[in-house]
Structure 1
Amino acid sequence: MNSGKQFFTGLEALRGIAAIMVMFLHTSGTLGPVPRNISYLAVDLFFLLSGVVLANSYEKRLATGEISPAKFVVQRIIRLYPLYLLSLPVGLLNHALQFGLDYLTLTDLLVRAILFIPSPNVDGAFPLNGPSWSLFFELWAGTLFSTLLIRLSWRILLAITMGAAGFTLYGALFVGNLDIGHQAGYFRFGFSRVLVSFALGICLYRFYEVRKPNVAVSGNIIGLLLCACLIFITNIPARTFFGFPYFDFLLCLVVFPAIVWLAMSTRQAGLVELVFRWLGRLSYPIYILHGPIFTLLHSLRQRGYDLPASPAAGMIVVFAIFILAGMAAVHFDEPVRKKLTMMIAPNPSSAVPAVSNTVTEQP
């Protein structure tokens, strides 16, 4: 294991592409009648990437006691919370438009959202920001990682992956696919769903450390091909394998790890590297901000506001989210995280590594 200073630019691009595909999944009719696809599996890719990146950045530091599990969790909260909190006022406005200005209900929803207490709401465990359900499991997996998973061998981690996959498959057979964990009735399957990919990501990084594959010469071309492959996969119509969730598990257990492994074995340069880094930089802002925005537009239409719902109008919203994500990252998220990090770690040598790792991660 190293000190966590490696930076996999290819993984940044994969995370950015995955966030964009999730955003298109949640357009709420803004882009017109878009057929549902399997981009819900982008969340599983996020969990896989999170396992790889957190193992790269923190595993040795946790194992040697350089950082405590409690401080690690605080750093994860600092990484994920600022933009998440920024999204909640939009979620509150949306809920008020849909159900009326009930201050008691809105206060309850806000407190639950801040503390990440799942709601019994049948429409989703976290109604103020639907996609934030994965952040709950990201924080849970991170806590488990810092206290237990770093102490387990790769064989035990693989056994955990397979066991969690079996339990998740049990729930997926009821739903028809792997798009489970965010619903109130299937919330328990979110714990096993995150473990499948997160534990596998830790194993993948450990294997990378042992094998150290040769860096591909054509890193730019391979990186772009991997991004195109991910776009193709996530655009497969959901109806194609609905009721047969084994295909979803094939992607999560075999195809996604292979894509990530290849991405880890490449290095990009020039314009491609710049674009890949920005994709990673914008991935979390896009992921955590897009849901409330599209839901708010949908609520405004339901209230009678004549807002256009066409592909052209939808793309304007998409580009606006890109701009908003960039502004939020540069002028809000990164400065706030820097100040909070300095508050808990005034000594720069003990501060969090300069590695972008969310997602969300989730994102």
Structure 2
Amino acid sequence: MNTGKQFFTALEALRGIAAIMVMFRHTGGTLGPIPQNIGYLSVDLFFLLSGVVLANSYEKQLATGEISPAKFIVQRLIRLYPLYLLSLPVGLLNYALQFGLDYLTLADLLLRAILFVPSSDVDGAFRLNGPSWSLFFELWAGVLFSTLLIRLSWRSLLAITMGAAGFTLYGALAAGNLDIGHQAGYFRFGFSRVLFSFSLGICLYRLYEVRKPKVAESGNMVGLLLCACLVFITNIPARIFFGFPYFDFLLCLVVFPAMVWMAMSTRQAGLVELVFRWLGRLSYPIYILHGPIFSLLQSLRQTGYELPSAPAAGMIVVFAIFIVAGIAAVHFDEPVRKKLKMMIALNPSPAVPAASNTVTEQP
């Protein structure tokens, strides 16, 4: 069955760089004092990329009835849950170190985490894995995508994008920037935050389908420049534009879509292509595993363990997370997902190579 799927290698690189920048924001002092930056916008880039990638992978199938919304949601759960569940024991250990072995509380936290029931706790909606708040909204966006957004015209989607951006701006003006949605007081803005970037991603893919741009020459160089640009943007100090979130929205509504469009217009080859594919392959493991690991290290320090705190030691932890992410992706996540798909017969067609399959189904 020809679904029209395409593989955008440069998008994988952007996703991987974004995950790494999020990881550096959550080091918890492991790398020493790091000035706060606008790396939180990496999450908005994730949402934008999800709109592009899911439209590329599933929109035609959903529109023609080749896959039902229910099967699509199961596909998303299979994609997101194995590594997420793998992270929860680390989160439980971290919580127990901080607050003691209250088995009823731990059981309640674990059940809520498995069911993705957000908490009203001021310390975060998902205590066992802080960064997983975005997965909650990813799943919500997936439900909306499979049942409603695929039926809407390009203009309607653009109107939803601007309306959701306006509502999110209301919350960002109160908070000082766009780093909202994961806190108890701003949780409702997480729905609009994902909606405006996700819908914009669908619009971007539909525009690409109508007006396929000419493939840029020197795709390797363009891809590397886009990655460097993303590193530069996410390292802009947050204090510069705090209280003026219009800059955040300029990046999310103009700069990020332009970067994604350029990335879709390039093709990579050789070593650059290999590195870009691996960045995409590791992006989700890095994103979902790093939070509990750094939180656990911080809790161990607070409870009296004398762990090295020099930046060099912190970089060892970062490299260790890369290794753990690679092992988890190759030897746990991909085999488990393949087995689950076979068990429920969601994809009876011949299996595709793991690296390609990783791309089209990542958040």
TM-score by length of 2: 0.97
**1:206–1:228 CA distance, 2 compared to 1 (3 A):** same
- Alignment of 1:29 with 2:29, yes or no, is yes
Q: 1:123·1:183 contact (CA, 8 Å) conserved in 2?
A: yes
1:347 and 1:243 mapped to 2: Cα distance?
A: 48
**1:347–1:194 CA distance, 2 compared to 1 (3 A):** closer
1:346 and 1:292 mapped to 2: Cα distance?
A: 31
2:346 and 2:237 mapped to 1: Cα distance?
A: 50
- 1:1-363 alignment to 2 at 5 Å? 3-345=3-345, 348-349=348-349, 354=357, 356-357=359-360, 361=363
**1:351–1:345 CA distance, 2 compared to 1 (3 A):** farther
Q: CA deviation at 1:286?
A: 0.1
Deviations 1:318-339 (A, max 9, x none): 0000000000000000000000
**1:286–1:29 CA distance, 2 compared to 1 (3 A):** same
SS in 2 for 1:354: helix
2:350 and 2:30 mapped to 1: Cα distance?
A: 45
Q: Which amino acid aligns with 2:282?
A: L
Q: 2:181·2:187 contact (CA, 8 Å) conserved in 1?
A: yes
2:75 and 2:278 mapped to 1: Cα distance?
A: 22
Q: CA deviation at 1:184?
A: 1.2
2:360 and 2:237 mapped to 1: Cα distance?
A: 29
The number of aligned residues is: 359
Q: Which amino acid aligns with 2:222?
A: I
Q: 1:113·1:126 contact (CA, 8 Å) conserved in 2?
A: yes
Deviations 1:80-134 (A, max 9, x none): 0000000000000000000111011111100000000001110100010000000
2:283 and 2:90 mapped to 1: Cα distance?
A: 19
SS in 1 for 2:304: coil
2:210 and 2:43 mapped to 1: Cα distance?
A: 27
Q: 2:71·2:346 contact (CA, 8 Å) conserved in 1?
A: no
Q: CA deviation at 1:310?
A: 1.4
Q: 1:154·1:203 contact (CA, 8 Å) conserved in 2?
A: yes
Deviations 1:64-87 (A, max 9, x none): 000000000000000000000000
SS in 2 for 1:32: coil
2:360 and 2:127 mapped to 1: Cα distance?
A: 25
Extract structure 1 runs of 4+ deviating beyond 6 A.
350-353
Structure 1 stretches of 5 or more lacking a match? none
Q: Which amino acid aligns with 2:116?
A: F
Report the RMSD for the aligned CA atoms in angstroms: 1.3
Percent identity reads 86
Q: CA deviation at 1:348?
A: 2.6
Q: 2:341·2:347 contact (CA, 8 Å) conserved in 1?
A: no
**1:346–1:291 CA distance, 2 compared to 1 (3 A):** closer
Q: CA deviation at 1:346?
A: 6.3
Q: CA deviation at 1:354?
A: 2.9
Q: CA deviation at 1:345?
A: 1.7
TM-score by length of 1: 0.97
Structure 2 stretches of 5 or more lacking a match? none
Q: Which amino acid aligns with 1:253?
A: L
SS in 2 for 1:306: coil
SS in 2 for 1:13: helix
Q: Which amino acid aligns with 1:189?
A: F
SS in 2 for 1:348: coil
